[in-house]
Amino acid sequence: MKDVAAIILGAGKGTRMKSDLPKVLMPVDGQPMIRHIINTLEELKVKKIITVIAPDGDLVKKEVAPYPTCVQEKQLGTGHAVRSAQAELSGYKGDVLVIFGDQPLYTKDTMKKLLKKRAEGYSIVCLGFRPQDPARYGRLIMKDGNLERIVEYKDATDEEKAINFCNSGMMCFDGEVLFEILGAISNENAAGEYYLTDAIEVALRKGLKCSAVECPVEEASAANTQEELAYLEELLKQRKSKKGK
């Protein structure tokens, strides 16, 4: 397998969890969410694991040690968060997985699927899933196996809203072009933020190819509230129960 690095986005606060703990440290099945992700990345034998933390992210830094962290000084969007890891990946030419730290259920097989697709000559591969209720998710617009764009629900036409292939958030990049692409993302939007999803538009503009692969719905589950955290716990218990059979 080609060299693989991973960037975990872990700068989020636990405000909606009604907790003082950073979101990625909220426990699922006895371990912080981010620890489940690191365990899987270790199984995959990735070369580097870098976590993006907030300026007050000492607790996250301690949890992920001895792996390095980098600080996102201001929360200017997901694209900006990934760019915060640039110094740690200077000169790196392998694959880079970008993972949100509140999605602890991704498996090694799903990560391998992304990497395998990337190896077919795509500069970016997104991970998609098909939820029962796709309303709030961005749509992955595919044509002939290529990803043409990601459309947020609020911006989608009726025809695009009928598509149920949704963006999970996880992506795999060619490390040689990752930061060149991120550097070309604009923040000309209502929030003034740099969105990681805009990387697709930038890559295609540069003549690069993008694609997407699919994972089970459960793996793409994230936790922003205590209710969603309890749901992740239940999914993990179900997974362990199936393994035990």
Which helix (H) or strand (E) segment is 244 a member of?
helix 226-244
Do 140 and 165 touch, CB atoms closer than 8 A? yes
Do 72 and 81 touch, CB atoms closer than 8 A? yes
What Rg do the C-alpha atoms of the chain give, in angstroms?
A: 17
Residue for token digits 């890891």?
85
Which helix (H) or strand (E) segment is 202 a member of?
helix 199-205
Do 189 and 154 touch, CB atoms closer than 8 A? no
- Two tokens, residue 100: 């949100």
Catalytic residue among 16, 136, 139, 149: 16
- Two tokens, residue 18: 């009604």
The reply to whether 16 belongs to the active site is yes
Helix (H, G, I), strand (E, B) or coil at 224: coil
Quote the crossing angle between the two packed helices 33-43 and 108-118, to the nearest 10°. Answer: 60
- The catalytic site residues sit at 16
